[in-house]
Structures are given as structure tokens and as C-alpha cells.
């Protein structure tokens, strides 16, 4: 019976995947009709950069798996990558350090992901464009007019809300970030927030937050796709865009707007040092023998147990390394209110201090417990004294049950 059910289940799944593939093929044909040819051919760029066809196929396999699709989708992922350059993108920079763009563009060993990002049809990118001043403003207007409802708006950086948003003004007309954001986002097919600043404000939104900065979604009151991280992995962005190219929809998002395929599990769950955590093997001090052995960084303030992300699986810089592999704990940059909730970054959470001193919740708790013990001791002595002085305790109370027992 179980076998019968199993084959039926398999049939159902196969059918679902077939339908999905058909949908995907149709959507891609539509894209090829609707959107202009890529400016550059992906395969030629890859060849120029010394990537063989084999490297590209390897990358498609990895990307298909990362997107949680079965291997039969590999040709489609490859096709979507070839069509990557068709999607018009407007890339805005708000309150941030441009580190995300830098991290995407300047890797020393660019992989297919980073090259894909270079083939993107960037209609407007404040860091990369040659135009400036009124010319840049014109380009932006042209892009959002020509591709209205079709382009993807990528936003890097948070939005300060203080002084009516005047802490951040852009362009020759001195528009505030909020104005620009509203204008562009209203015409975009989707808004993708890149990096912790655009997602929740990051360091600009940390206490005391003088500019009242926050994430784009909250500042503009729109729902966004949040590629969280400081910086996020290029894979998470390209994968989400590939999903959009393949299926015409955004990937499933978690309750914080992060794509589930990349932010579905915690760092801790897939950490390569996890076995040392379970074995009670911790680094107690930077550079001690435990650190040399690659033991768990929990006591050095690793925030992996509270952080959702796929850093441990996809790693950074072409899979060379990632923070925990390099010997420093996770700082929790993909989580809401990052900085405030994750501070202190190099100490466990419960060693957060109050009032600028050494007062942690444990010292406060211990002092209060000591005070409680002292208090009850004083109370006990006072009770004894009172007992000797008078018949204070002799007036026995009437229990609430007396009525019943006397019946």
C-alpha cells in the first residue's frame, strides 16, 4: 500500500514540476519578446573572464540547488542567466556606505554571480554611472518612464525620516531620499532592498538614531523583498532575480520579507562549528588553543543561534570563506534592528551592559537576589523581635475554610 501511495505521490510531484517548467518556459518566451536584447552576451563575457562552459554548467547546478529546484531545471536556470541582462534595473543609493555594491563588484575572484550582476541592464546606478547632475536625473526619469511597471528597483541604504527626510538629499534638485524612493518605487515591478541599511536601517538606525533612520519598507510604507546582510551575499540577490526571470513572481518570502530559499534557516543550524557547540567545546579567548582547533565561538559573542541566513552554505568570495570560518563569530547582520539587538558583538547577549558600567542582567539579578535574601533575613529577625515583644502573632486568623469544617 505504501508503495502505491508513494508512486502516486511521485506522479503528482512530477506533474507539478512539469507544470512549473511549462509555466517557466512560457514566461521566459514572453520576456524575450517584451524586453530588449541583453547589451552583452553572457557567454562571451564569461569566456573573456576565463570561465569555461563547464564552470557555467557547474554554477547552474549549484544555483538550481540553492533555489531548492530539482536538477531538471538546470537548463532553465542557464537560460534565465542568459536573459539576466534583459531585466531593467534602477539601483538607488540612500543612507549607506555603498559597501554592498562594492562587495558585489570588487571581488578578487569574481564568480558567475558577480559577472551576472555586471551584465544586468543597469539603467541607473549612482556609483557606476558616468552621468552626473541634471544628466543623471534625466537618465533616472527616462528609465522609470520607459520601463514603467517592468523595471526592478534595487535600493541600497536606509531612509532618514527626521527633518522631513532632509538628512538625506540627492541630485541637482535636492530631493529627499523619501521623495526619490516614493517616485521610483511606485513605478517599479518590484522593490528589492539590498543590505541591512535598506532592510532595517542598520547602523544609522542604531541608538540614539539622531536622523530617525529606518528601512525602506517601513519609511515608504511598501512591502519590499529584503536581501538582508551587511553586506548580503551576491548569490541571494542573483538567485532572487533569477527566480523572478524564470517564474515572473518573487520567491516566497518570510514574515520579514526575506526570501525563504536563502534566509529560511539559522546560521547556527548549518554552522561547520556546530558539533563543537554540542560537545561543549568553546573558544574562551581570542587566539587560545580552542580557537586554533576551530571550536565554537558562542562564548566570543557569536550570534549565529539568533540569525537567519545561508552564509554557512554559500559563503563569500566565491565560496572561499565566511565570518565563522575565518574565526570571528556571526554578528547577526540579517536580523531586525541589527546593532541594537546584537550588541555587544563580541560578547554573549546576556553580557549587554546598562548605564555605561559593568552592570549586566546577571549582576543585576545576583544583586537583587542578594538583596532579597538579606531582606528576608531582616524580616525574620524583626518578626522574632515582634514575637517577643507582644502577642502580635497570637491573634490567629480565621481560615477561609473554617465555615466548612464547622458544619
CB 215, min distance to other proteins, A: 13
User: Residue 108 or 395: which CB sits closer to other proteins?
Assistant: 395
- Between the alpha carbon of residue 366 and those of residues 53, 94, 348, 371, 376, the distances in Å are 64, 45, 18, 8, 15
Cα 284 from Cα 276, distance rounded (Å): 13
Cα 268 from Cα 334, distance rounded (Å): 13
Cα 201 from Cα 339, distance rounded (Å): 10
CB 283, min distance to other proteins, A: 8
- 2-34 and 74-82 helices, crossing angle to 10°: 10
Cα 191 from Cα 124, distance rounded (Å): 14
Q: Cα-flanking dihedrals φ and ψ of residue 158, to 5°? A: -85, 180
> Residue 112: which residues within 8 A CB-CB, separation 6 or more?
46, 51, 55, 56, 59, 81
CB 357, min distance to other proteins, A: 18
Check: CB of residue 227 under 8 Å from CB of residue 236. yes
CB 141, min distance to other proteins, A: 37
CB 321, min distance to other proteins, A: 21
User: Residue 110 or 304: which CB sits closer to other proteins?
Assistant: 304
Cα 393 from Cα 371, distance rounded (Å): 26
Check: CB of residue 156 under 8 Å from CB of residue 194. yes
Cα 405 from Cα 195, distance rounded (Å): 71
User: Residue 3 or 400: which CB sits closer to other proteins?
Assistant: 400
User: Residue 181 or 332: which CB sits closer to other proteins?
Assistant: 332
User: Residue 13 or 380: which CB sits closer to other proteins?
Assistant: 380
Strand order in the sheet with 152-156: 121-125, 88-93, 152-156, 190-194, 225-227
Specify the residue for cell string 539579578.
365
User: Residue 319 or 375: which CB sits closer to other proteins?
Assistant: 375
CB 95, min distance to other proteins, A: 21
CB 373, min distance to other proteins, A: 6
CB 317, min distance to other proteins, A: 27
User: What is the SS3 assignment for 260?
Assistant: helix
User: Residue 248 or 336: which CB sits closer to other proteins?
Assistant: 336
User: Residue 148 or 372: which CB sits closer to other proteins?
Assistant: 372
CB 309, min distance to other proteins, A: 12
User: Residue 108 or 280: which CB sits closer to other proteins?
Assistant: 280
Interface contacts to other proteins, rule CB under 8 A = 255-256, 265-266, 268-269, 275-282, 284, 290, 295, 298-299, 303, 305-307, 332, 335-337, 341-342, 348-350, 352, 361-362, 364-365, 368-369, 372-373, 376, 379-380, 382-383, 386-387, 392-393, 395-402, 405
Check: CB of residue 116 under 8 Å from CB of residue 42. yes
Cα 166 from Cα 254, distance rounded (Å): 32
Amino acid at each position: 500500500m505504501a508503495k502505491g501511495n508513494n508512486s502516486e505521490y511521485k506522479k503528482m510531484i512530477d506533474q507539478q514540476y512539469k507544470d512549473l517548467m511549462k509555466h517557466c518556459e512560457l514566461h521566459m518566451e514572453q520576456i524575450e519578446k517584451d524586453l530588449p536584447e541583453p547589451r552583452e552576451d553572457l557567454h562571451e563575457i564569461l569566456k573573456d573572464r576565463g570561465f569555461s562552459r563547464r564552470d557555467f554548467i557547474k554554477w547552474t547546478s549549484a544555483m538550481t540547488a540553492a533555489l531548492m529546484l530539482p536538477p531538471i531545471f538546470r537548463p532553465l536556470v542557464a537560460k534565465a542567466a542568459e536573459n539576466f541582462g534583459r531585466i531593467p534595473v534602477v539601483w538607488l543609493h540612500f543612507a549607506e556606505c555603498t559597501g554592498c555594491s562594492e562587495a558585489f563588484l570588487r571581488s578578487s575572484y569574481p564568480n558567475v554571480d558577480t559577472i551576472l550582476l555586471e551584465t544586468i541592464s543597469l539603467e541607473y546606478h549612482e556609483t557606476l554611472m558616468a552621468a552626473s547632475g541634471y544628466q543623471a536625473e534625466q537618465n533616472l526619469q527616462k528609465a522609470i518612464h520607459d520601463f514603467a511597471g517592468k523595471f526592478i528597483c534595487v535600493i541600497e541604504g536606509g531612509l532618514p525620516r527626521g527633518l522631513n527626510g532632509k538628512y538625506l538629499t540627492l541630485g541637482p534638485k535636492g530631493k529627499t531620499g523619501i521623495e526619490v524612493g516614493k517616485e521610483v518605487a511606485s513605478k517599479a515591478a518590484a522593490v528589492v532592498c539590498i543590505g541591512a541599511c535598506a532592510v532595517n536601517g542598520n547602523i544609522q538606525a542604531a541608538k540614539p538614531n539622531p536622523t530617525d533612520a529606518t528601512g525602506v519598507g517601513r519609511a515608504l510604507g511598501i512591502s519590499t523583498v529584503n536581501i538582508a546582510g551587511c553586506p548580503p551575499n551576491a548569490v541571494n540577490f542573483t538567485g532572487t532575480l533569477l527566480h523572478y526571470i524564470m517564474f515572473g513572481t518573487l520567491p516566497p518570502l518570510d514574515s520579514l520579507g526575506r526570501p525563504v530559499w536563502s534566509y529560511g534557516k539559522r546560521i547556527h543550524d548549518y554552522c561547520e562549528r556546530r558539533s563543537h557547540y554540542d560537545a561543549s567545546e568553546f573558544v574562551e579567548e581570542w587566539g587560545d588553543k580552542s580557537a586554533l582547533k576551530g571550536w565554537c565561538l558562542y562564548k566570543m559573542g557569536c550570534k549565529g543561534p539568533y540569525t537567519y541566513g545561508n552564509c554557512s552554505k554559500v559563503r563569500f568570495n566565491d565560496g572561499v570563506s565566511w565570518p565563522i570560518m575565518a574565526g570571528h563569530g556571526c554578528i547577526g547582520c540579517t536580523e531586525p534592528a541589527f546593532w541594537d539587538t546584537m550588541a555587544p558583538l563580541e560578547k554573549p547577549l546576556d553580557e549587554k551592559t546598562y548605564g555605561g558600567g559593568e552592570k549586566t542582567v546577571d549582576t543585576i539579578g545576583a544583586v537583587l537576589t542578594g538583596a532579597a535574601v538579606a531582606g528576608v533575613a531582616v524580616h525574620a529577625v524583626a518578626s522574632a523581635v515582634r514575637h517577643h515583644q507582644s502577642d502580635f502573632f497570637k491573634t490567629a486568623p480565621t481560615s477561609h475554610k473554617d465555615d466548612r469544617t464547622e458544619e
